[in-house]
Amino acid sequence: MISVLTNLRELIAAYGIPHLNKEDDEQIEKDILASLKDIEIDSHTRYLSHGSREMAQQSFRIFYSQLRRMFNIIYRKKNHQADLIILKFHELFKTYEDIYSQDMNLEEPLTDYQYQLLKIEITGRFPVLKDVLHKKEIPEVLICEIQSALNSHFNSTDSELRYHQYLFYKKLLQELTKLAYDTRNKDWERRFIETMININFNHMGFFNRLSEIINDQLNTLCEKHQMMSIIINGLRISQASRHPRLYYEQNRAHLADLLSEYTEKRKILNEIQEVKIETDEILDEIESSGILSNLSRAEIIVLFHYLFKAGFLRGKSKLEAAQNFSTFVFTSNDIKIPVTQLVKIDRNKYQSSIKTVKKKLLQAILFMDEDLKDLGRSNQLEA
């Protein structure tokens, strides 16, 4: 297909040369217009002559890219002023983009003229749309992220846009216009978010702000309603449109996938929180049903030490026994003794407590002796 561009390339190279007079340039302009008409006819014939779909697509992409460069050259030679030649070029590009839409290289840069037209359209229409969306109570932070994306692409005079971004921004304007001027009574925040998901505005700043909004909304709900909301949101997100040629960032996951991943993580966190609450309730129940003693911290430590030595407590080691003992035994102030304090005892430090515990244990032994004597007398009478 590129062979049909030979004559046009030579005419553009000759146009605007300083030593040519006005009449020469006018004749070249007429020849350029005639050449563009010939290219429109001949290029279609050449496209159809290729033996395979793959060869035709490759040939078209090379042809389109070279024609774009020629368009930029003549547009700059005309000081970025539109005339019959520029308009004819632009018309030809629109024709190719319609007929060969499936063959377009989505990473192909826009022509300078396309970029200028889109910039004029964006900067003219978005401020008006933004005001209308504010009145529909669309979150300010989300609108600001759209504005940020626009600023990054349209605050320069040179085009840095790729064709897929051109398609995205045209779709963005179209959908925001529908949303802004829809007079029905709807949940506009939800409709706006669904629209951004459907057109795949996978801008990281937008995703982060949207995640924060979802999180804030969930935090106003009880645990049960949070899980219900997460499940419902997940179902809505899974039904999002997935046009393969519609995206803001090529190398980033679809906005629906980013949100699905976020909601799944939030769901897991909620499940973990539910388990933690249940575990805390069980532990509270265990703690509330522990052994409440009249002993001080030091006396509890002494009691544990000697009960373990005497074989009263189960455990392969003193540490294991201390872990069980610490869970269920409380001091007179309703305090549990940490395991680390139970496993070691300083006898000199706790000498007074040892005497106190010994006295209480001896008192218990006296009670046992009295009971045994009573039992002995009862047995003799029965005999």
pLDDT at 232: 60
Tell me: pLDDT of 301 over 60: yes
Q: Which of 61-65, 250-254, 292-296 has the highest mean pLDDT?
A: 61-65
Note whether 197 and 256 are within 8 A (CB): yes
The residues spanned by each domain of the chain are 2-105, 115-277, 291-382
Tokens 């909301």 correspond to: 229
Tell me: pLDDT of 155 over 60: yes
Tell me: pLDDT of 281 over 60: no
pLDDT at 219: 74
Mean pLDDT of all residues in 22-34: 89
Confidence of residue 314 (pLDDT cuts 50, 70, 90): confident
pLDDT at 333: 79
Q: Tell me how far apart the alpha carbons of residues 92 and 87 are, in angstroms, rounded to a whole number.
A: 9
Q: And the tokens for 314?
A: 């189960």
Tell me: pLDDT of 158 over 70: no
Question: In the 3-class helix/strand/coil scheme, how is 236-280 assigned residue by residue?
Answer: HHHCCCCCCCCCCCCCCCCHHHHHHHHHHHHHHHHHHHHHHHHHH
Note whether 39 and 6 are within 8 A (CB): no
**How far is residue 289 from each of residues 5, 85, 87, 167, 285, measured CA to CA in Å?**
91, 91, 87, 68, 6
pLDDT at 283: 55
Mean pLDDT of all residues in 8-25: 83
Can you list the positions of beta strands (E) in the chain? 291-292, 329-330
Instruction: Name the residue among 311, 345, 308 with its Cα closest to residue 323.
Output: 308
Tell me the helices (H) and strands (E) count for the chain, helix number first.
15, 2
Does an H or E element contain 45, and which? helix 22-48
Instruction: Name the residue among 93, 125, 129 with its Cα closest to residue 111.
Output: 93
Q: Tell me how far apart the alpha carbons of residues 267 and 272 are, in angstroms, rounded to a whole number.
A: 9
Confidence of residue 267 (pLDDT cuts 50, 70, 90): confident
Q: pLDDT tens digits, residue range 90-141?
A: 999 999 999 999 999 999 999 999 999 999 999 999 999 999 999 999 999 9
